[in-house]
Structure 1
């Protein structure tokens, strides 16, 4: 799947793609907060990145519950972030913590299993395996 990045105006940057098997293209809109010159009309790219981790883990938890006929009412994932200082005035993400909160009637025998399935998250695995990046300039042909 290729993603085309476009600039619809202001500080907005969109990612446009057609998911595998779907005919309709999708657009993920991003923007910057007002204090950074944007309109605050959409999440920042970094917030989407963070959300992709939790939602990826969430789809595995959801699928596990559906497969095992476990109601998902009352189940939430809470993702928190720890930062460290990396030079004067700079901070960097040091740790991501995901707490899977389950209701009191959630079967105890599945506590470890639900953590294992959340760990299957492809976003997390990709980060852990550190892909290589290549950025280059390509002159468009008219």
Structure 2
């Protein structure tokens, strides 16, 4: 699989404001005022949650189409917090998935299982190789 590139750079319009270029799309990122930003765009964790939510919803839509399921709409609400486990603070993301349509209990349960198989959920749910290097 070819790696895609996203370029993030300070835009000079605020203390923490960033311009995010993903292909032909340009987005804005910032920190909320409570963190010293101007809240001019979503915070980095909001983008992480958005990526997981979008991937979850798209994966469920694709599965429903392949299986010809009567799925009318998917909505994914995501929340991030930090909890203590065995004396260590850990990040936790919780997804609440709403499935609208005439799905029976078995189909709904299978959809929940499929939600865990979306590529972003798989990447976040296992040790991730995260590398950084300085550009020349």
TM-score, normalization by structure 1: 0.73
Q: Residues of 1 paired with 2:130 and 2:99: CA distance? A: 38
Q: Residues of 1 paired with 2:58 and 2:120: CA distance? A: 12
Summarize the Cα distance change of 1:138–1:101 in structure 2 as closer, same or farther, 3 Å threshold: closer
- The secondary structure found in structure 1 opposite 2:37 is coil
Q: Is 1:8 aligned to 2:11, yes or no? A: yes
2:22 match: 17
Root-mean-square deviation (CA, aligned residues, Å) is 2.6
Asked if structure 2 preserves the Cα contact closer than 8 Å seen for 1:15 and 1:29, the reply is yes
The offset of 1:111, in angstroms, is 1.7
Asked if structure 2 preserves the Cα contact closer than 8 Å seen for 1:61 and 1:118, the reply is yes
The offset of 1:30, in angstroms, is 0.4
The offset of 1:133, in angstroms, is 2.0
Aligned 1:92-131 pairs, distance under 5 A: 92-93=90-91, 95-103=92-100, 105-131=102-128
Q: Is 1:45 aligned to 2:48, yes or no? A: no
The offset of 1:42, in angstroms, is 0.7
Ranges in structure 2 where 5+ consecutive residues have no aligned partner: none
Moved over 4 A (4+): none
> Higher strand share goes to which structure?
2
The offset of 1:114, in angstroms, is 0.6
The offset of 1:53, in angstroms, is 1.4
Structure number with larger C-alpha Rg: 1
Asked if structure 2 preserves the Cα contact closer than 8 Å seen for 1:62 and 1:72, the reply is no
- The secondary structure found in structure 2 opposite 1:40 is coil
Q: Residues of 1 paired with 2:36 and 2:80: CA distance? A: 25
